[in-house]
Amino acid sequence: MSSLRARLALSAYRWVGTAIYPMVGPYLALRAAKGKEDPARRRERYGHASAPRPDGPLVWFHAASVGETVAVTPLIKEIRRRGIAVVLTTGTTTSARVAAERLGASVVHQYVPLDFKPAVSRFLEYWQPDLAIIAESEIWPMTIVELGRRHIPQVLVNARLSDRTFSRWKKRPSLADALFENLALVIAQSDVDADRFRTLGALPVMVSGNLKVDTDAPPHDPQVLREYRQQIGSRKTWAAISTFEGEENAAGIVHRALKERSDLLTIVVPRHPERCDAVEAVLTAKGLKVARRTRGDPLTSDVDIFLGDTIGEMGLYLRLTEVAFVGRSLFAEGGQNPLEPAMLGCAVLSGGNVQNFRETYQMLAKNGSAKIVRDVEMLAKGVNYLLANDDMRRSMIDAGLESVQQMRGALTASLKGLEPYINPLIVKARLTPRAETSASA
């Protein structure tokens, strides 16, 4: 039983949120000015719907950003194939574009309501979901409480808890218990994550593996890929992807150190494309010539850096190389997903700060498909070695493809765990006129 103190804390959270709710407009306006909100759809953040609710049973999926959206896409497609409507919420404009590209009109997309009672209540009263499925580590107190109050089952899928997040919740055990007791099921990525959720009071908990392994390889435009490959010709390439501040500068240092030894093209893909003007300035200050994807700059022989400043084209960038450094790992913490480069035939390099993908990196490293570098100098040596040694590069690529295959199965396991919640909705959907609930894959 949760303590009175935890209940009071949640009550205080609710009332404080209600009090500041009318004043969040400037915050959303600032985010819109930075390209992080869609001004035309800002009312959705207050829980106002911008689309009609489909008839019949409805599952609410929430995926915070791009990675979570990609991870749950196969699961959403399976739910839709069973004739159940889906409303998908995300929190960023980039994830909204990815959802449109990968799911199209098969789901209703909305921006997630702010975690204030008026917004959450308005959202739930309109959409009336039969089930809420939340991806990875999104724990919003008011949303969880309101779903619980309405007796709407809520399930965490592909669930994980970072070291820092777990440590914070452990310091507030009563509050954690008051929230996590509302979860009908947690489907965790790993045994470590499962144990953490159990420690915080979640039951039942099962382990599925990482849904990101069961996703399709990121798509690409074959014609664009052919054109770039023709422009690159016989030049050697490597990529620094999902980079954060400082890592683009590191890529520039690596390029300058290696360009004298080979005719090298470096591909840099920042995690946040809105930073690319600043990234270009840093790289040009080093005397490097930068070509940008959005400008349509050709990859002529004198181009040093190909700056991937678009959303949804990681499949293109990774298909232009066989060596990929995965960012947010040298100068920032947490790491980024190494599975996409592994499944697209790249030898993977990373810094050591990969706490959010620890088990994935452990598997890749154990099989010899990923190497950890300590600093920029070691990164330069690793890139140079892999570009110069075809056998080692090919061995890492093959090991990566095998590792991805071994890790598959999370989608099947997740669907198995969801059966008690999905099967009644399948029956309910069959009782609804077909014309109103026809699902598209």
By annotation, the residues acting in catalysis are 68
Q: What is the DSSP string of 186-248?
A: EEESSHHHHHHHHHTT--SEEE---GGGGSPPPP--HHHHHHHHHHHTT-EEEEEEEE-TTHH
Q: Identify each DSSP E strand in 117-195 by its residue range.
A: 131-135, 154-159, 185-188
Residues 6 or more apart whose Cβ sits within 8 Å of residue 41:
50, 111
Distance of alpha carbon 210 from alpha carbon 408, whole angstroms: 8
Closest CA to 370 of 387, 356, 386: 386
Edge-first strand order for the sheet with 154-159 is 108-111, 85-90, 58-62, 131-135, 154-159, 185-188, 205-207
Name the one residue in this structure whose structure tokens are 């080692």: 392
User: How many CB atoms within 10 Å of residue 198?
Assistant: 15
Q: Tokens for 119, please give them.
A: 């917004």
Cα distance between residue 308 and residue 127, in whole Å: 38
Residue whose structure tokens are 């360009």: 259
Tokens of 268: 């840099």
Query: Residue 233 corresponds to which tokens in the numbers above?
Result: 């010709």
Question: What is the DSSP secondary-structure string of 325-384?
Answer: EESSSSSSSS----HHHHHTT-EEEE-S--GGGHHHHHHHHHTTSEEE-SSHHHHHHHHH
- CA within 13 Å, CB half, 344: 25
Kindly state the DSSP code that residue 184 receives in the 8-state scheme: S
- My answer on whether omega of the bond before 54 falls inside 30° of 0, hence cis, is no
Burial of 24 (0-12, 13-18, 19+ CB in 10 A): middle
Rounded CA-CA distance 56/63 in Å is 22
Q: How many helices (H) and strands (E) does the chain have?
A: 19, 14
- CB count in 10 Å sphere of residue 106: 16
Sole residue written with tokens 């890749």: 364
